[in-house]
Structure 1
Amino acid sequence: MKQICVFLVIILLTSCEYFNVKKTSSEAILNEELQTFNWNEVDKYPTFSLCDSLSNKQEKKQCFTSILTGHIFKYLQDEIIVVTQDVNDTIDLKLQISDTGGITLLETKIDSLTIQEIPNIDVLLANSLNTLPKIFPGIKRGQQVTTEFILPIIISAR
């Protein structure tokens, strides 16, 4: 009987380790979650109200960029631009859509010939963004976020 009691005590002492619960800190959980995020993608791209009827993420992105480029083209067509030689250039606009829906032109990459022929092209591009319809910001995990992207614009003047 004494041997059985000693055996049970030994089993109880060694099995206590199995009942310990390992605690995970909230910082460890946060760090693990942050590493699973793809910070270069949003769940929903910025959009205009005209794009709301589309359901596919890629279609909404295409709708947003086509409305944006169409608006810029219309604005530039309404301006009187005189050039002395043909201009065919692709201008890269680095844009930022804030979490409140505001748009900011961060940077433009313009060829020197285009700047020579149309010296105020950067001002025209910035002004074209001021008359855009309301933009709804991008969404990441249910939160409105600031997004940045590069929009290529093809300029052709004769």
Structure 2
Amino acid sequence: MKHFVFILALLLLCACDDLKVKKTSTEAILNEELKSFKWNEVDEYPTFSSCEFSSTQQDNKLCFEQTLSAVILERLQAERIIVNHDVLDTILIKFKISDLGDLSLLHFEVDSLTQAEIPNIKFLITSSLDSLPVIEPAIKRGQKVNSEFTLPIIIKVN
């Protein structure tokens, strides 16, 4: 019986070491979280109210890009653009959408030949942005965040 009590006491002492709780500081937790945080991705892309029916994140992104392209294209088609030579070019437009849903143009990349043929192309595109519907900003971890993206616009004028 003495041996049994001795062995039981020894097992309890050894088991107590396994029950020690490791303390983790909030800084360590934050550092671990920051390592796993994907800064270049959002949980939900910016969206227009007409795109809220989309079921997946990719559908929302596609709907947003198509709606934005359609608004720009509609404005360009409403203008009478006269050129001396045929124009077939891809314009890259870099946008920023603030956490309040405000869209701003960051960078506009257009070929010099297209710029020469259509000198007011930048004005036409930026003025088309005034008629955009309300934009819901991107969401990351439940918070509205700023987001940036590049949209290619194909210009074809004969």
**TM-score category, normalised to shorter length:** 0.7 to 0.9
Q: Deviations over 1:100-154 (max 9, x none)?
A: 1010110011001001111121122111112100000111111111111110000
Which residue of the partner structure matches residue 129 of structure 1? 129
RMSD across aligned positions (CA): 2.0
Distance (whole Å) between structure 2 residues aligned to residue 153 and residue 111 of structure 1: 12
Deviation of the 1:77 alpha carbon: 1.1
Where in structure 2 are the equivalents of 1:90-109 lying within 5 Å? 90-109=90-109
Length-normalised TM-score, structure 2: 0.87
Where in structure 2 are the equivalents of 1:8-157 lying within 5 Å? 20-157=20-157
SS of 1:130's partner is: helix
Moved more, 91-100 or 78-87: 78-87
Q: How many correspondences in the alignment?
A: 152
Distance (whole Å) between structure 1 residues aligned to residue 18 and residue 43 of structure 2: 41
Distance (whole Å) between structure 2 residues aligned to residue 16 and residue 43 of structure 1: 43
Length-normalised TM-score, structure 1: 0.87
Deviation of the 1:19 alpha carbon: 5.4
Q: What amino acid sits opposite 1:57 in the alignment?
A: Q
Q: What amino acid sits opposite 1:151 in the alignment?
A: L
Q: Which runs of 5+ in 1 are unaligned?
A: none
SS of 2:23's partner is: coil
Of all paired residues, the percent bearing the same amino acid is 53
